[in-house]
Amino acid sequence: MQSKDPSITRLTPADHRRVPWKNGGGVTTELAVEPVADGRFVWRVSIADVIEPGPFSAFPGYDRLIAVVEGDGMRLSVDGAVPVERRRLEPAFAFPGEAPVWCEPTAGPIRDVNLMLDRASATGTLTLLAGSPAHRAAGDVLLVHALAGTLTVIPDGGVALTVPAGHSLLLRDAAVLVEAPDGAEGVCAEVRRR
């Protein structure tokens, strides 16, 4: 559903797309993506459930940022290195998409959020929001997604917008302040073109 400002798009769960993992090990839910030719994309923000240990799909030429948003946590072994443990709502972990990655949930299934960026075209950050101070974000593309509760997004020079759980706000060429009051949780993906 388009808002009055053409640079702001509201996305609902009906806009999400379920896509099988490249390695066949599961399904990801795309919140938003900027596709290009031949199945490639400039950037993609998705959420996936990881039920059991297994490999991640390879994405050569992409940088990935991943964070646990539900469940206890996960251990990631990237390119055979000593596993790194990530807990729920800890800062995002970055790794190259072409690296072999083994993931193991630490105490039952988890849900993660993933920002993937075509290394030649874009850079970015993935910030988790949970009852913390307001987060200032700016970029060529911003995706603010509410995981729980309601987030408030205030574009510079604009009117405050609310984002309920399960919904997203996609902003282009924007600078915003994102508020996650107590009980609210969300993520903010910032994409900058090279």
Which CATH number belongs to the domain containing residue 28 in this structure? 2.60.120.10
- Structural domain harbouring 189: 8-12+124-193
**31 and 113 share one domain:** yes
Overall number of domains in the chain? 2
Walk across the sheet containing 93-96 and list its strands: 17-20, 27-35, 41-50, 110-118, 62-70, 93-96
pLDDT average per 10 residues of sequence, the chain (194 residues):
65 96 91 90 97 96 98 97 95 98 96 98 97 90 98 94 98 97 95 96
Instruction: Write out the DSSP string of 101-117.
Output: EEEEESSS-EEEEEEEE
pTM: 0.93
Q: Which residues pair with 75 in a beta bridge?
A: 85, 104
Residues 90 and 128 grouped into a single domain: no
Nearest to 109 by CA among 186, 26, 180: 26
